Amino acid sequence: MTDEHPGPEPAERPTTGEKAGRDAAGAADARPLVLVSVGTDHHPFTRLIDWSDCYALDRPDVRVLVQHGASQAPAAAEGTAYLDRGDLGSAMGEAAAVVTHGGPATIVQARESGRLPIAVARDPELREHVDDHQLRFVDRLDEAGLVRACSSYQQFCATVDKALAQPEDFRPREPPGGTTAAALRAGRLIDVLARPVAPHADRSQPPPPPDSELPEITAVVPTRDRPDLLRSTLKHIRGQDYPATVHTIVVFDGTEPDRSLASADGHRPVRVLANTAVPGLAGARNTGLLAARTELVAFCDDDDLWLPGKLRAQAAVLCAEPGTELVCCGIRVRYGGAESDRLLRRSSVSFTDLLRSRLTELHPSTFLLRRSALVDGCGGVDEEIPGGYGEDYELLLRLARRAPIRNVAEPLVRVLWHRRSHFGGRWQTISNALRWLLGAYPEFRLVPRGYARVAGQIAFAEAAAGRRGAALEWATAALRAHWGEPRAYLAAAVICGVSPGAVLRTLHKCGRGI
């Protein structure tokens, strides 16, 4: 998106005294103002600074103010390193033209200030950023009429001149076919999605607080027609080496509650409830969540087992980190007669991480969360997902939007994988739910590997359901997003006659799934 010669030679830099004098005089300047904001990224944006300097030299009748961030201060234009949000908004409102880098926050603020931004995206080939997400983002907004994109100095000058001469053409308007708010939704999210992925810091497990300071916890156990497995699950909850009270709420979904399980044990009491929300796992979890009387709530499926130390390790993190809302841990997968540990070798998981990968190590039976994060925050488990498939993953995405998810890298829950799970053979339900997920989280489009993964899952489900045409469409979409997506090739194998059950059994033996 840049010319072979992206701009003129840089202007000579002023001395500190000259610069200070010019800045002081700027307040009374009656010339039209062009505001240029390069954001706060640590990569220098020398190209845009030089364009601004040359424009200021060529047009002395225009005042050019540059918020230059980590870049070197401008030579001919006025400059300030940083402006807080209030000052930046005020300057945008006063400016006759606003030039921004490709950062969504700055673009959104310019539009909210009544200015159609002239956007110059940072180019990774010029070492202005770590990747090309600003180039793609600005192109997308330019096509929607939400910015005026510039990729050369000549285009920059012509566009700024036009903004000064025809100010009404540089006022935000509704884009064709949709609202400004809807079209900018991706922009408000891209700060989170597209920032470089730094190595995950090794945050050691905080020391456990004294036993007397450990909070009470409520375990929510949804169940349906698995009495023997349920009793084993409850036994392991009661056996946790956790000194504070652990309440258990067993929620029966679609079956008559077994009242004999209720117990008034002061240290490990058990309540038995019927699901009063939408039938299914999501509704059962929400019934238990709303009935809980403690701030910390843990989920556990009725066929999984908490291993020793699970609650202690996770509660220590929540006690030490008031801003953390959810803590997970590793799992020990049991399938047939074999067991395998699934550990996530990191202590923190972001929203972007979860878009890129499902991270199946973050199993719902490992969740220990703050009740207020759901009940008073982002809402309970989503009951609208078709068939309830993937409700745990959707909840992870929603919570990760609010704050990073913490993880204890130890296998502290044994997860039983059945040869015949509830969703076994319900391929159309799986496909419908995953397509719902892509619609609910358009951010997947900004993370090609993540989009390819979900599209590949849909392709496999459609192939297993015998819908070859739909399977080919989704497999093609997955490979366009990321040519190496293995689920697309597995879907192709099923289309060619390979049994989907055989594929799943092979994966499950390795502790994996589609």
**Residue 29, SS3?**
coil
Encoded tokens for 147: 């910015």
Residue 31 confidence (pLDDT): 92
pLDDT at 165 over 90: yes
With cut-offs at 50, 70 and 90, classify the pLDDT of residue 375: very high
The amino acid that residue 140 corresponds to is R
Quote the percentage of the chain above a pLDDT of 70: 85
Q: What is the CATH number of domain 212-417?
A: 3.90.550.10
**Residue 123, SS3?**
coil
Q: Does domain 16-193 have CATH number 3.40.50.2000?
A: yes
> What does the pLDDT average to over 176-180?
43
Closest among 408, 396, 210, 203 to 319, alpha carbons compared:
210
Encoded tokens for 428: 């159309």
> What does the pLDDT average to over 195-211?
61
With cut-offs at 50, 70 and 90, classify the pLDDT of residue 513: low
**Residue 342, SS3?**
strand
Residue 15 confidence (pLDDT): 40
pLDDT at 291 over 60: yes
**Residue in the structure block whose two tokens are 């015998």:** 466
pLDDT tens for residues 381-428?
999 998 888 999 999 999 998 889 999 999 999 998 765 555 556 899
Give whole-number Cα distances, 9 to 47, 75, 242, in Å.
Answer: 10, 12, 68
Encoded tokens for 33: 């103002």
Q: In the CATH hierarchy, which top-level class contains the domain 428-509?
A: mainly alpha
Report, in this order, helix, strand and coil percent for the chain, each rounded to 5. 45, 15, 40
* DSSP annotation string for 419-451: SS-TTTT-HHHHHHHHHHHHHH-GGGGGSHHHH
pLDDT tens for residues 249-260?
999 998 999 999
Residue 182 confidence (pLDDT): 44
pLDDT at 370 over 90: yes
- Give the C-alpha separation, 386 to 502, whole Å: 26
- Give the C-alpha separation, 341 to 344, whole Å: 10
Give whole-number Cα distances, 104 to 120, 125, 147, 187, 455, in Å.
Answer: 12, 20, 11, 5, 27
Contact 38, 49 (CB under 8 A): yes
Residue 512 confidence (pLDDT): 65
Q: What are the backbone angles phi and psi of residue 460, rounded to the nearest 5°?
A: -65, -45
Contact 5, 61 (CB under 8 A): no
- Residue 243's region, left for phi above 0, alpha for psi from -120 to 50, else beta, is alpha
**Residue 208, SS3?**
coil
| Of the listed ranges 4-18, 116-130, 369-383, the one predicted with least confidence | 4-18
- Give the C-alpha separation, 204 to 317, whole Å: 10
Encoded tokens for 28: 């009374």
> What does the pLDDT average to over 137-164?
88
**Residue 456, SS3?**
helix
**Residue in the structure block whose two tokens are 């609650």:** 311
- Give the C-alpha separation, 307 to 299, whole Å: 14
Contact 384, 370 (CB under 8 A): no
pLDDT tens for residues 303-347?
999 999 999 999 999 999 999 999 999 999 887 778 889 898 889
pLDDT at 25 over 50: no
With cut-offs at 50, 70 and 90, classify the pLDDT of residue 502: confident
> What does the pLDDT average to over 464-492?
92
pLDDT tens for residues 31-89?
999 999 998 777 889 999 999 999 999 999 999 999 998 889 999 999 998 888 788 88
pLDDT at 473 over 80: yes
- Give the C-alpha separation, 283 to 276, whole Å: 7
Pairing outcome for strands 246-252 and 217-223: parallel
With cut-offs at 50, 70 and 90, classify the pLDDT of residue 204: low
Closest among 5, 94, 102, 119 to 54, alpha carbons compared:
5
pLDDT tens for residues 117-146?
999 998 888 888 777 778 878 887 888 788
Contact 475, 467 (CB under 8 A): no
- Boundaries of every domain in the chain: 16-193, 212-417, 428-509
Residues in CB range of 90: below 8 A, 6 or more apart: none
Contact 463, 471 (CB under 8 A): yes
Residue 75 confidence (pLDDT): 93
- Give the C-alpha separation, 435 to 458, whole Å: 7
Query: How many Cα neighbours within 13 Å face the side chain of 164?
Result: 18
Residue 431 confidence (pLDDT): 93
